[in-house]
Amino acid sequence: MDTATGEARSGISHPAGLRLPGIVLGVGMGGFADGILLHQLLRWHHMLSSTNHDRIGVKYYNPHTVSGLEMNTLWDGIFHTVCWLSVLLGLGVLYSRVTHSRLRVWTSRVLWGWMLVGWGLFNLVEGVLDHHILGIHHVRAGAGQVWWDLGFLLLGALLVAGGHLLQRGGRPFDPDAPAGPRAGRLA
């Protein structure tokens, strides 16, 4: 046991030990939800669908032309690759910290709370950077786009707050506790 942090050597006896893998997994999952739902299924925007060379020095790639859609699809693929790598990294960090009782960790409020925090952080960072600062795309371009962009930020803030509250309600995890329905469980 590390007396300074109160965490066991496994790094997860305290709910904070799940913070990093949960947030990294949440960032990746939030990116996938954005990319799959907003980019592919609803087709509201792509990575570069609102660019123009006057604003940020990037050529405009109109997603309604073949060449523009090809470039947007390429950048959507790069975006999904980053999301995929985030999920792999989060799983790797989680696996390195949890060697026993993995089912109890995956069913814990702590892990899922941190994942919601990560998803919310994704929305906040991506929303501020891509929608407001760089303006490379908007949640839904056109009339009222500022409200869609602000709603995306509000959703991110609610996910961070809800995830924080959820993980705070979890209990410390003891990897050496005997297996059982409630023993050593991160509720």
pLDDT tens for each residue of 117-159: 999 999 999 999 999 998 899 999 889 999 999 999 999 999 9
User: Between residues 2 and 59, which one has the greater pLDDT?
Assistant: 59
In which domain, by residue range, is 100 found? 23-168
Q: In this structure, is residue 81 part of a structural domain?
A: yes
Count of structural domains within the chain: 1
Q: Which tokens hold the place of 149? A: 């962009």
Find the Cα–Cα–Cα–Cα dihedral 73, 159, 141, 24, rounded to 10°: -20
Q: In this structure, is residue 14 part of a structural domain?
A: no
Q: Structure pTM? A: 0.79
CA-nearest of 80, 68, 70, 64 to 30 is 80
Place of tokens 């696996």: 95
Q: In this structure, is residue 176 part of a structural domain?
A: no
Q: Which tokens hold the place of 109? A: 């409020």
CA-nearest of 142, 115, 133 to 15 is 115
Q: In this structure, is residue 161 part of a structural domain?
A: yes
CA-nearest of 33, 22, 34, 28 to 115 is 22
CA-nearest of 160, 167, 74 to 121 is 160
pLDDT tens digits, residue range 9-26?
Answer: 444 445 558 899 999 999
pLDDT tens digits, residue range 61-111?
Answer: 888 889 889 999 999 999 999 999 999 999 999 988 876 777 788 888 999
pLDDT reported for residue 58: 66
Integer angstrom CA distances of residue 150 from 50, 77, 115, 135, 154: 16, 25, 22, 13, 6
